[in-house]
Amino acid sequence: MINFTKMHGLGNDFVVMNNIDGDISLSIDEIRKLSDRRFGIGFDQLLMVESAISKEADFRYVIFNADGSEVSQCGNGARCFALYIQKKNLSYKNTLTVETNAGVLNLNINTDDSVTVNMGIPNFEPSKIPLNFENESSEYLVEELKVGSLSIGNPHAVVIQDEIKDIEQAASKIQSSDAFPEGVNVGFMQIINREEIKLRVVERGVGETLACGSGACAAVIYGIKRGHLDSKVIVHLNGGDAVVEFDGDRVFLTGPGEFVYEGSVNLRSGSS
């Protein structure tokens, strides 16, 4: 039996497992079965708490999408990760340093139990996103759609709309395009004013989620680069609100994380 905790960040839901001892090893097929909302537990991402490799970090943060693919970044998950560590008494620090495949994240647990994640420095270089364009630009034409694109440890495309609608077809076209060889998360942003946006995100390997933390960061950065937004923005997602701050160098994401329930699962029988 494997113990797990179900959590969510603004409706973006996760299963968190303590794998500090390294005794949990799940196949792609097993992750897919667990993610199934009818026959499994159901989640957007699976988060593993593991021992850090370097002495400078407190933990290692490992993320798997519902389709079993491993990804490097998840801002909403990072907030849940920090609160899980605190609740399970795995650390008594209010500021945690965690390793990811995209580099090191700093997670600060605030007095109101919200968490601020230092998401690091965004990358706009096409080869690093990765994006199949030779030259860096503030905007690209992909499948006849104007998109901004950048990486925050994972690839993002952002589309500005006067009113967010018909996103499934547009997201499918962008995600299946040769422009993004490793797939892409697609955000659809409606600008309300210079300090407020609405956002819906279709994530690679998951589909549309109620919230996407790195997607919120990507949208705000793109809006700032285009001159539409100020440096601190409230992002209204379907699952609730997050705050993104971008100082021109690093980007910070602040929002809640919630515990839903705890359980155990027997992978051999599929029961939980």
Mapping DSSP onto H, E and C, the string for 26-65 reads CCHHHHHHHHCCCCCCCCCEEEEEECCCCCCCCEEEEEEE
Give the per-residue pLDDT at 272: 52
pLDDT computed for residue 43 by the predictor:
97
- Does a structural domain hold residue 153? yes
| Residue with tokens 């968190």, as numbered in its chain | 16
User: What count of other Cβ atoms lies within 10 Å of the Cβ of residue 85?
Assistant: 23
pLDDT at 194: 98
Do 102 and 166 fall within a single domain? no
Residue 24 per-residue DSSP state: -
User: In this predicted model, what pLDDT tens digit does every residue of 205-235 receive, in sequence order?
Assistant: 999 999 999 999 999 999 999 999 999 999 9
- pLDDT at res. 267: 79
Domain count, the chain: 2
Distance, in Å, from the CA atom of 107 to the CA atom of 81, rounded to the nearest integer, reads 9
Domain of 164, in residue numbers:
126-248
22 inside domain: yes
SS3 assignment, position 86: helix
By the 8 A CB rule, do 122 and 221 touch? yes
The model's pTM is: 0.92
The answer, yes or no, to whether residue 268 has pLDDT greater than 90, is: no
Say whether 80 is catalytic: no
Mean pLDDT throughout 166-188? 96
Q: Specify if 40 maps to a domain.
A: yes
In the chain the beta strands, taken as DSSP E runs, fall at 2-9, 12-18, 45-50, 59-65, 70-71, 95-100, 103-109, 115-120, 140-142, 145-151, 155-160, 185-193, 196-203, 207-209, 232-237, 240-246, 251-255, 258-265
**71 within domain boundaries:** yes
271 domain-assigned: no
Asked if residue 272 is part of any domain, the answer here is no
Is residue 98 domain-shared with residue 149, that is, in the same domain? no
pLDDT at 102: 86
Task: Report how far residue 168's alpha carbon sits from residue 22's, in angstroms, rounded to the nearest whole number.
Answer: 38
- Please give the C-alpha separations between residue 111 and each of 107, 198, 250, 251, in angstroms, as whole numbers: 13, 27, 22, 21
- In the set 15, 62, 74, 265, the catalytic residue is 74
Stretch 12-18: mean pLDDT, rounded?
97
Cα distance between residue 164 and residue 196, in whole Å: 14
Answer yes or no: is pLDDT of 271 > 60.
no
In the chain, what percentage of residues exceed pLDDT 90? 94
Q: Which residue has the tokens 């004013």?
A: 193
Catalytic annotation present for 212: yes
Establish if 270 belongs to a structural domain: no
Where residue 198 sits, what CATH number does that domain have?
A: 3.10.310.10
The residue annotated as part of the active site, out of 85, 212, 235, 251, is 212
For 80-128, write each residue's pLDDT tens digit: 999 999 999 999 999 999 999 988 999 999 999 999 999 999 999 999 9
Q: Please give the Cα distance from 211 to 15 (Å, whole number).
A: 16
Percent of the chain with pLDDT over 70: 98
